[in-house]
Amino acid sequence: MPSTSDSLTVGLAQIAPVWLNREQTLLKILQRVDEAAAAGCQLVAFGEALLPGYPFWIERTDGARFNSPVQKELHAHYLDQAVQIDAGHLGAVCQAAGHHQIAVVLGIIERPSDRGGHSLYASLVYVATNGVIQSVHRKLMPTHEERLAWSPGDGHGLRVHSLGRFTVGGLNCWENWMPLARAALYGQGEDLHIAIWPGGVHNTQEITRFIAVESRSYVLSVSGLMRAGDFPQETPHLAAILAGGGERFANGGSCIAGPDGAWVVPPVIDEERLIVAVLDHCRVREERQNFDPAGHYSRPDVMQLQVNRQRQSTVNLVD
């Protein structure tokens, strides 16, 4: 991709998972990567926890009940369908990214071996255009009931990546509300921020434009969808999960705001589709003229942020 071009074509893949089915959801993801490449996209992004799905069961099945056999069974199923990167579960995605020379941002439920292999993290994965995973950002703080399924992450993945003239970074869902997490990315030169969500216009319709104005950057909010029909019939305790839930569990809300906070693409609701837009880096440079939060409108002599990017572990093995 020429670094001299101001244009970047991006795709927001607003899709539903085949819930808690890693292999079937991967097929849907690969189809959207192919579709995005055919549409000329140089980057395609997917929602939070899309692979293999968000833990919708917790608030619907008495998820805080201690030592509950129901919760244990569902959690064991979640572990089984989670993503083990070192086992090659994202190999096909990396291959597709390299083949099409398209960057991929994907929300996964990660089951990492460096933390023992039996705890889960909501992670944002950045796959570069050469098909190599450049960063895995584990969500710093799971939100509310998510803490019953996900573990707190660390700062290792608070990184940005060059893509043409843009510098790309991203955060998971409500950590987009964390001022210091945003500042960590701004300070590394981020001018294209990707906020990934499980799905819900109530999450994206305000914060997307707020971050754009605060950072004078393009902001892509990418959401999933979840409908009753997206739950496989073999899902454990499916009747209890669906009871009283209605048809829609997550209604999307994917959108794009420009560096002045104006909508490039307003929120898209209740529709499974690939949203394509062309971004112009010149607009970033124009809006930074009067405000640059990490540059001329900062005071590092007064305020600085320290970020620990070490990957955390309970064991430091020295052989």
Contacts of residue 62, defined as CB under 8 A and 6 or more positions apart, other chains included, come to 68, 70, 71
Q: What is the set of active-site residues?
A: 48, 139, 173
